[in-house]
Amino acid sequence: MSDGAADSHNPLLERGSRDLLVVTAQLVDAACRARDGDGDGARAHIARAVSLLDGYAGPGAIGQTSHRGPRPIPRGGFAAWQSRRLAAHVDANLTGKLVIRELAASLELSVGHFCRAFKRTFGMSARIWIRHRRIELAQGLMLTTGASLSEIALSCGMSDQSHFTRTFRRIVGETPSSWRQARHGAIEERVTELAYAGATKSAIERN
């Protein structure tokens, strides 16, 4: 059992922290949701960003609530140290194959026990969680680099751009190209607004 396939070399991810890339994408998405009047969506993306800044990788799915302090361990789920080790292992190997059997072995668990504990801890199967994590990382790269979608697909462990597009659309609800274009447009619009506001303020102060 595995999820994704790509080269182990990942030049795009050498440019910055994975979590910081994901946080960037979450905050941009929050701003876009707020602009469109989707307050619940904006709060969900902000909560995801905060959870990452808190050092909790958590489920890849949007909408998880973050809070300070120890997180409760679900009955039959992973201990906090197991979740951290697992998330670190997944993040370090997102560019290549992630085999469920090897993830279970990293925690010295049987595959069956691992799969049950994973779902109780993260609320989804390991396969789905890994796909969400790949897509979150791709969103960060789409906003912070000029790399092509095919390059980003390979950097996030997708076998090719077609596989990436199908997975992205299933999880996010739109194609990677439309998502990227909309977010870049929102960023440029906000930069223009700030520049105009700054120029207006300077003109008023001079007068």
Instruction: Return the biggest CA–CA distance within the chain.
Output: 74
pLDDT tens per residue, the chain (207 residues)? 555 544 445 555 554 466 677 788 888 888 787 777 878 877 887 877 777 666 555 544 333 333 334 455 667 899 988 988 888 888 888 888 899 999 999 999 999 999 999 999 988 999 999 999 999 889 989 988 889 999 999 988 998 999 999 999 999 999 999 999 888 766 655 555 555 455 565 656 665
**CA–CA separation, 178 vs 151, rounded Å?**
17
Pairing of strands 98-99, 2-3: antiparallel
Structural class in CATH, domain 15-206: mainly alpha
For residue 161, what pLDDT is reported?
Answer: 93
Sorted by where each begins, the domain ranges of the chain are 15-206
E strand map for the chain: 2-3, 98-99
Exposed/middle/buried for residue 67 (C-beta within 10 Å: 0-12, 13-18, 19+): exposed
Q: What is the pLDDT of residue 62?
A: 37
Residue 108 has what pLDDT?
Answer: 94
Cβ(81)–Cβ(107) below 8 Å: no
Q: Are 120 and 74 in contact (CB under 8 A)?
A: yes
